[in-house]
Amino acid sequence: MNSIVTTCPKVSLSNGLQIPILGLGTSHDGGYSHDAMLYALRECGVRHIDTAKRYGCEEQLSIAVQESGVPRQDLWLTTKLWPGEYGYTASKKACRDSCSRLGVEYLDLYLMHWPDAMVPGRSNREVRVETWRALEELYNEGVCRAIGVSNFLVSHLKELKEDCSVVPHVNQVEYHPFQQPEELVEYCRQEGIVFEGYCPLAKGQALSHPTILQLAHKYARTPSQICIRWSVQNGVVTIPKSTKNERILENCQVFGFSLSVEDVDRVRRLHSDMKLIHLSWPLWKGLSS
């Protein structure tokens, strides 16, 4: 068994829980494979899984987790609340519905998927506050062991801090060599919010960059391993996605080497503020699945 269970570091949340620094992401539009998920859990020792209501695979994931034989207490399961279900009552129902689809009594982490609320006639801030208070209650009830947000900027986080009592435990944001929101990362760390990064390979675009290729040759590793190692070495909880067994195994094998300080800086200099996700966000507005 090529397990990362004993080698994968964990990051402490402000409430004392520890989240594995490396996870496996899922997504919509073919971003889920039952066989690959079983392989990740059984053969690679992956114990951190990230999904969302929007991705439409919570029920499938439940089946894979059951078939894997991995005890629930050994898993870190994250799912997300879609903006179409923001609001106090709707949020509470959506969370419990996700638990039901996932076949669990509690979630390790529940995230507000986007800062935009999509509620006509009401301000985004007002709806975010109402929704977050529902998440706070779910957290206090033990339905969610931790609560957080996704795609929130510093301005959104500052407003939430002013309006609510529980500071988000996590903020999950796009993070890769070409998109390094350092101001946001620094703010999160100052406030005790764990920064979590998705798209660590820049949807594959980072894998052919000359600097990444040079480092892959230097360390006798693959380009994807260089990108993921760089991310986790920066202390970012990292969730690459794949539906291929060989890629999942490759992405897990990033704890047997380290990049030098100089090489970490080389990758840092690749930042160009290239965002891959927000461009498609307007197309999703109005969707509830």
pLDDT confidence tier of residue 4, bands split at 50, 70 and 90: low
Long-range contacts of 216-219 (CB under 8 A, 24+ apart): 218/263, 219/257, 219/259
User: Mean of the pLDDT values across residues 7-15?
Assistant: 96
Separation in Å, CA 219 to CA 55, 117, 172, 260, 271? 35, 45, 29, 10, 21
Does the pLDDT value for residue 41 go beyond 80?
Answer: yes
- Cα 70 from Cα 79, distance rounded (Å): 18
For 107-128, what is each residue's pLDDT tens digit? 999 999 999 987 788 999 999 9
User: Mean of the pLDDT values across residues 127-132?
Assistant: 97
Model pLDDT, residue 31: 82
φ and ψ at 195, to 5 degrees? -90, 125
Annotated binding residue 34: no
According to DSSP, the β-strands at 18-20 and 10-12 are antiparallel
Q: Residue 9 carries which DSSP code? A: -
**Residues classed as catalytic:** 55
3-class DSSP state for residue 100?
Answer: helix
For 197-230, what is each residue's pLDDT tens digit? 999 999 999 999 999 999 999 999 999 999 999 9
Q: Residue 80 carries which DSSP code? A: E
For 256-288, what is each residue's pLDDT tens digit? 999 999 999 999 999 998 888 753 444 344 433
Q: DSSP E strands: which ranges in the chain?
A: 10-12, 18-20, 24-25, 48-50, 76-81, 109-112, 147-150, 170-174, 194-198, 237-239
Model pLDDT, residue 28: 79
Q: Which domains does the chain have, with CATH numbers?
A: 10-282 (3.20.20.100)
> Tokens 């992401």 sit at which residue?
25
Q: DSSP E strands: which ranges in 130-287?
A: 147-150, 170-174, 194-198, 237-239
Please name which of 157, 93, 97 lies closest in space to residue 128, comparing C-alpha atoms: 157
